[in-house]
Structure 1
Amino acid sequence: MKVIIIGGMAAGPKTAARLRRLVPDAEITIVEQGEFISFGSCGMPFYLANLVPEFSSLYATSYGVARDIEFFRTRKDIRILAGTRATGIDRERKRVSIIHLESQIQSELEYDYLVLATGAVAITPPIKGLETPGVFTMHQPNDALRLQEYLRTKNAQHVTIIGAGVIGMEVADALAGRRIKVTVCEAQNQVLPKLLDPDIAQLVAAQMKQYKVDLQLKCRVKAINCGEDGSVNSITTNQGEIITDAVIVATGVRPRVDLAQVAGLELASNGAIKVDAHLRTSDPHIFAAGDCASQINKVSEQEVYIPLASTANKQGRVVADNIAGLDTEFSAVMGTTVLQAFDLNIGKTGLGEFEAVSLGNNVISGIVSGHDSPHYYPLHSSLTIKLIADRSTGRLLGAQVCGAGEAIKRVDVFSVAIKFGASLKDIANLDLGYAPPYSEAIDIAIHAANTLENKRCGLSRGISPLALDLLKNTQVPICFLDIREPDEVKAKPLSEKDVLLIPAGELRERYHEIPCDRPVVVVCGLGIRSYDAVCFLQSMGLEEAVYLEGGISIWL
């Protein structure tokens, strides 16, 4: 059996390694146009942050051996053609045309099965001056090396990042941690626009300001300008000019499908290569995996394009199984995406609120804030969770998390719940591990599910920070009932016009002081005490009282 794999970063090497174990006598060849094989691209921001001192660590095994041509030849019996580009596919003859980039020697490779793991290419926005020295993308391995060298030789003091997606945020965090002044220009009105809903995104934006990052939203870069030495010295935006020493373009990626397209393979609606559940393309002898292949979203059941190294590696394994004759399917994805930036753990799984609504779902959402472990445990940290569910059935549709606490553990719980169609009640009854170093007795994931289920059943009335801001914009008079303790109020007083201070311990004696002629929004630190207060106030006839979900800890 002859297997040709085009692409040597994630899905390709995983396919080859798994296939070698399943079919020991297979002839396996990887064609890679770059010089690196099985490279950990996700580690590049950490290299820029000097958290990974040696660049070689990004293409080494856990025991310190470089995953290079010799490694794959001697340890895996896999032939690597590095520095070689695939230029065409003859499906009828089952041949791949290749060219060695240095020698320009052309040849053909014969295959029984072909695997397209061609990855993605960085999107280049229509900005004048992208070719100016000092402009970088952050996609290929050499990008990190080139940027690191440029920052050192130019003694760069200021870097502008175009795009506030996952890569843009990770690189901004990496450079800000080195005390380089960073400006982030984002064309949308929030950070992480393809990942988070606005109410969670604003928590990230607020933290960026704490790190002195200059965040420019609704900012469109028009041109990149060069100085007397020919390299970048400023950019022109719709909000003015920014003086800068370097520019990083992080406006996303698109699937690399030119080979597949010319070969006549079917593409999905999102532009990636269309594959079935076994990751076969429209040609049964050709598979596609990784950032070039389309996926199906488990919740929406629609084609999506969510390029992730985790997905690529899992798909590589599935491709190898099917080439070897095992009947293995790749499951639909939940779009689970996580990152760490500015001391925040940020993540999403499933659908966002606006995404779920646009797909016709009858949606209810809720936000909770709390701790990842008991307050008395010295290493506890804060955490905010937003859940999105079907209003009628309570089935979980999506979750988003943000905080310094252990957020990603909770994302994983919600991801599994969504995969198996769990409802909020199902999640509330999960048997999660408990000990003070790991969670509260009722884990915040369960607390979030209980809270939204109460809201869904009409047992509580909450208002999200975003909805509260919209209510304020209507100019409707609002009474803010602050039930925090006096020392809490002194440390962080509300700046609203109509604030009534009644500590929670005095509410049952003083509730008659609350006006009945306007909406009453009860606030506390995390939203827990205010929920209790609203339950009491409703029993006393103040049926329009609502509590601020997540408390003032996330109301910015």
Structure 2
Amino acid sequence: MHSRKILIVGGVAAGMKTACRLRRLDADAEITVIDRTKNISYGACPLPYYIEGLYDDLMEVRKTPVGVLRDETFFANVKGFTTLTRSEATAIDRDAKTVTIRSLDEDRVQTLSYDTLVMATGNTPIVPPVPGHDLDGVLPLKTMEHAEQLDALADTAKNAVVVGGGLIGLEVAEALTKRGINVTLLEMKDQVMATALDFSSAAIVHRELRKNGVNLRLAEPLLRIEGQDRVEKVITEQGEYPADMVIMAIGVRPVTELAKDAGIELGTTGAIAVNDQMQTNDPAIYAVGDCVESIDQLTGKPVYVPLGSTANKHGRVAANVIAGQADRFPGILGSLVVKVFDLNVARTGLSAEDARLNGYDSVSLIATSPDIAHLYPGNKPIIIKLIADRQTRKLLGAQIVGPGVVDKRLDVVASAVTMGATVDQLAQFDLCYAPPFANAMDALIQAANAMRNKLDGLADSMSPCEAVDLVNSGEPVILLDVRSPAEYEEIRIPGATLVPLGALRKRLDELPKDQLIIPFCKLSLRGFEAQIILQQAGFTNVRYMEGGVLAWPYEFE
């Protein structure tokens, strides 16, 4: 009996994870990885930080934590399988179980047979075919080669235009700004991270970008790029912007041509469709990583959210199943985190808008709190937005932004949503406490309790964006600032009326009972207290502003 032949097309994250895991489970299998590039097994996520200058050796993205380069020799000697680089898989014969391989450096074509084939073909950047997209100085950021080119351009560039306000676009905008380059960020939608964040969260990111000098242009699509041989400027409907370099960061699409030509089914997202064992419609062919669609755990619908974390999980599941171990991939929640200057931004599950579109009767709430004890040096605020189902009270998602620690809270929410926890259960999670790490009631538990109050009818509230919409509509509204006079003098929301919380009971007669009153403070703990005081005094139209001044995404006085 011959050893099983396993071919893996694609040697970056998912492909190499599959190969390494398979070798651990099967010492005899003949494993071959095929990749059309020379730079295999690299992490693309650190590339913006190379451009920023946070590390000098680009090869770090291909090294182990102890500095060993993950090249063909490493995988042969340490992992025990063969890697064919600069080799392109051009065709699959499913009946004969063969793959045709063309050498990109030699005039040579070979055919390799397989018992099991794994597709890990990844994705490719979307570059819109606008006039001038092929000028020198116009590049996406996907590969190590792209990073080298962009780093060289940044040495002399004075002006850069980043097209797209997703994760890569935000990271590159920060990297180039810190290189001393004037950056214009074009986003065709009315907010950044439009598929990940609600507007209330994205608006805080907008303010952070502008605060750090990024010329953020929202709802402004790219029309054309102009220059003589090299890029010189970018043209939109609203204006033109000088550019010595242009970074295309509007997204990626799965690389599926090889699979499609072989009759492998694609899903509704355009990526390869697989079952929960990463198996395609051909039982001998699996697919993993950025060429594959996943299932949203909450909606049960196919989604395409390419992330390195997901790719590695795909690879492990596929390897386990191929090796005969029971395993399945349960789907994703779209959990992600990104650093934008001094702001940390994280999200998981459904946004409020996604929940509504998927038929949930959802409730959202914004709560602001310091990430550690307020008396401990270095505390920083975080703004938590929770989304829950009104009937079942189950968590549906969260968005957390702020200069404080957001990732650990987001990971707790992701765990809770995965396990089907309710807001009430989240509020009772036994999270660790010490002043250097958290409040006695962690910021997440405070947010969960605020959501419980809202669900139980004990609190009536609105987001800052909703408050602004009401003010702009012309409806009679009183924005009631219940902070101290000193806080009010330092910074204030335009048009707000100051009545400190300690004086509110004595000054009730100054407030009209026939208008909507929206009390708020720094965090809106006092705003909630003010709502209770006003309601107990007979005011029937009171809703406190969630998140307070710290969650206000607009201009201040």
TM-score bracket relative to the smaller structure? over 0.9
Alpha-carbon distance in structure 2 between the residues aligned to 1:429 and 1:114: 47
Letter in 2 for 1:346: V
What is the deviation of 1:508?
A: 2.0
Q: How does 1:156-305 map to 2 (within 5 A)?
A: 156-227=157-228, 230-305=229-304
Could you say which residue in structure 1 is the equivalent of 2:380?
A: 381
Could you say which residue in structure 2 is the equivalent of 1:116?
A: 119
What is the deviation of 1:94?
A: 0.5
Could you say which residue in structure 1 is the equivalent of 2:397?
A: 398
Alpha-carbon distance in structure 2 between the residues aligned to 1:235 and 1:176: 18
Could you say which residue in structure 2 is the equivalent of 1:75?
A: 78
Cα displacement string for residues 403-429 of structure 1 (whole angstroms, at most 9, x for unaligned residues): 110001111000011001111001001
Q: How does 1:415-430 map to 2 (within 5 A)?
A: 415-430=414-429
What is the deviation of 1:150?
A: 2.4
Match of 1:30 among 29, 33, 38: 33
Could you say which residue in structure 1 is the equivalent of 2:522?
A: 525
SS of match in other structure, 1:179: coil
Match of 1:47 among 47, 50, 55: 50
Could you say which residue in structure 2 is the equivalent of 1:515?
A: 512
Alpha-carbon distance in structure 2 between the residues aligned to 1:252 and 1:52: 25
Letter in 2 for 1:550: G
Is 1:86 aligned with 2:89? yes
What is the deviation of 1:76?
A: 1.1
Letter in 2 for 1:190: Q
Alpha-carbon distance in structure 1 between the residues aligned to 2:497 and 2:379: 31
Q: How does 1:309-320 map to 2 (within 5 A)?
A: 309-320=308-319
Alpha-carbon distance in structure 2 between the residues aligned to 1:526 and 1:371: 9
Alpha-carbon distance in structure 2 between the residues aligned to 1:59 and 1:494: 49
Alpha-carbon distance in structure 2 between the residues aligned to 1:480 and 1:357: 28
Could you say which residue in structure 1 is the equivalent of 2:69?
A: 66
Could you say which residue in structure 1 is the equivalent of 2:367?
A: 368
What is the deviation of 1:52?
A: 1.7
Number of matched pairs: 550
Is 1:21 aligned with 2:24? yes
Letter in 2 for 1:266: E
Alpha-carbon distance in structure 1 between the residues aligned to 2:226 and 2:254: 29
What is the deviation of 1:370?
A: 1.1
Could you say which residue in structure 1 is the equivalent of 2:539?
A: 542
Letter in 2 for 1:274: A
SS of match in other structure, 1:159: strand
What is the deviation of 1:515?
A: 1.2
| Runs of 4+ off more than 4 Å | none
Could you say which residue in structure 2 is the equivalent of 1:477?
A: 476
Alpha-carbon distance in structure 2 between the residues aligned to 1:527 and 1:246: 44
Alpha-carbon distance in structure 1 between the residues aligned to 2:205 and 2:350: 19
Alpha-carbon distance in structure 2 between the residues aligned to 1:339 and 1:413: 17
SS of match in other structure, 1:4: strand
What is the deviation of 1:440?
A: 0.6
Is 1:461 aligned with 2:460? yes
Q: Mean alpha-carbon deviation: is it higher for 510-519 or for 237-246?
A: 510-519
SS of match in other structure, 1:366: strand
Alpha-carbon distance in structure 2 between the residues aligned to 1:95 and 1:43: 36
Alpha-carbon distance in structure 2 between the residues aligned to 1:311 and 1:145: 26
Identity %, equivalent residues: 40
Cα displacement string for residues 118-165 of structure 1 (whole angstroms, at most 9, x for unaligned residues): 00011122311111000010112211011112222xx10111000000
SS of match in other structure, 1:386: strand
Alpha-carbon distance in structure 2 between the residues aligned to 1:82 and 1:261: 23
What is the deviation of 1:509?
A: 2.1
Cα displacement string for residues 472-498 of structure 1 (whole angstroms, at most 9, x for unaligned residues): 2220111121111011000013321xx
What is the deviation of 1:543?
A: 2.0
Alpha-carbon distance in structure 2 between the residues aligned to 1:122 and 1:309: 15
SS of match in other structure, 1:236: strand
The answer to whether the 8 Å contact 2:141/2:147 transfers is yes
Letter in 2 for 1:507: L
Letter in 1 for 2:197: L
Could you say which residue in structure 2 is the equivalent of 1:342?
A: 341
The answer to whether the 8 Å contact 2:160/2:242 transfers is no
The unaligned stretches of length 5 or more in structure 2 are: none
Q: How does 1:491-506 map to 2 (within 5 A)?
A: 491-496=490-495, 499-506=496-503
Could you say which residue in structure 2 is the equivalent of 1:330?
A: 329
SS of match in other structure, 1:161: strand
Alpha-carbon distance in structure 2 between the residues aligned to 1:104 and 1:146: 28
What is the deviation of 1:86?
A: 0.3
SS of match in other structure, 1:194: coil
Cα displacement string for residues 331-377 of structure 1 (whole angstroms, at most 9, x for unaligned residues): 11111111111121111100011111011110111101111001111
Cα displacement string for residues 174-213 of structure 1 (whole angstroms, at most 9, x for unaligned residues): 1111221111000000111111100000000000111000
Alpha-carbon distance in structure 2 between the residues aligned to 1:415 and 1:134: 40
Alpha-carbon distance in structure 2 between the residues aligned to 1:193 and 1:396: 21
Cα displacement string for residues 104-126 of structure 1 (whole angstroms, at most 9, x for unaligned residues): 31111111100000000111223
The unaligned stretches of length 5 or more in structure 1 are: none
Letter in 1 for 2:17: K
Could you say which residue in structure 2 is the equivalent of 1:126?
A: 129
Alpha-carbon distance in structure 2 between the residues aligned to 1:346 and 1:537: 35
Alpha-carbon distance in structure 2 between the residues aligned to 1:178 and 1:149: 12
SS of match in other structure, 2:48: helix
Alpha-carbon distance in structure 2 between the residues aligned to 1:534 and 1:28: 66
Alpha-carbon distance in structure 1 between the residues aligned to 2:153 and 2:536: 66
Could you say which residue in structure 2 is the equivalent of 1:141?
A: 144
Alpha-carbon distance in structure 2 between the residues aligned to 1:377 and 1:479: 35
TM value normalised by structure 2: 0.98
Cα displacement string for residues 244-271 of structure 1 (whole angstroms, at most 9, x for unaligned residues): 1100000100111111100101111101
Q: How does 1:428-443 map to 2 (within 5 A)?
A: 428-443=427-442
